Amino acid sequence: MNNGIIILDFGSQYNQLIGRRIREMEVYSEIIPFNTPLAEILAKKPAGIILSGGPSSVNAEDAHLVEKELFEAGVPVLGICYGMQLTAHLLGGKVTKGEKGEYGKAELAIVKSNALFNGVAEKSIVWMSHFDEVAEAPEGFEISAKSGVIAAMANEDKKIYTVQFHPEVTHTEEGGKMLENFVLNICKAEKNWKLTGYIERTVAEIREKVGTEKVILGLSGGVDSSVAAVLIHKAIGDQLTCIFVDTGLLRKNEGKKVMENYRVSILI
Ligand X SMILES: Nc1ncnc2c1ncn2[C@@H]1O[C@H](COP(=O)(O)OP(=O)(O)OP(=O)(O)O)[C@@H](O)[C@H]1O
Q: Which of 113, 202, 225, 239 binds ligand X (CB under 6 A)?
A: 225
Q: Confirm whether 81 is a catalytic residue.
A: yes
Task: Establish if 223 lies at the interface with ligand X (CB under 6 A).
Answer: yes
Q: Least distance from C-beta 224 to ligand X, angstroms?
A: 3
Count, residues near ligand X per rule CB under 6 A:
11
Beta bridge partners of residue 124, listed in sequence order? 108
Distance between CA atoms of residues 101 and 128, nearest Å:
9
Q: Least distance from C-beta 31 to ligand X, angstroms?
A: 13
Task: Establish if 199 lies at the interface with ligand X (CB under 6 A).
Answer: no
Three-class SS of residue 83? helix
> Measured at the alpha carbon of residue 59, what is the angle toward residues 55 and 63, in degrees to the nearest 5?
55
Do 106 and 169 meet the contact criterion of CB atoms below 8 Å apart?
A: no
Residue closest to ligand X, measured at CB: 222
Say if residue 224 carries a ligand binding annotation.
yes
Beta bridge partners of residue 12, listed in sequence order? none
Q: Least distance from C-beta 251 to ligand X, angstroms?
A: 12
Distance between CA atoms of residues 134 and 152, nearest Å:
9
Task: Establish if 28 lies at the interface with ligand X (CB under 6 A).
Answer: no
Instruction: Using CB atoms within 10 Å of the CB of residue 16, give its burial: 0 to 12 exposed, 13 to 18 middle, 19+ buried.
Output: middle
Say if residue 210 carries a ligand binding annotation.
no
Task: Establish if 220 lies at the interface with ligand X (CB under 6 A).
Answer: yes
Task: Establish if 219 lies at the interface with ligand X (CB under 6 A).
Answer: yes
Q: Which of 102, 133, 168, 180 is catalytic?
A: 168
The CA-atom distances, in angstroms, between 96 and each of 4, 16, 34, 133, 150 are: 33, 27, 22, 6, 12
Q: Confirm whether 166 is a catalytic residue.
A: yes
Binding residues (CB under 6 A) for ligand X: these are: 218-220, 222-225, 243-245, 247
Annotated binding site for ATP: 220-226
Catalytic center residues: 81, 166, 168
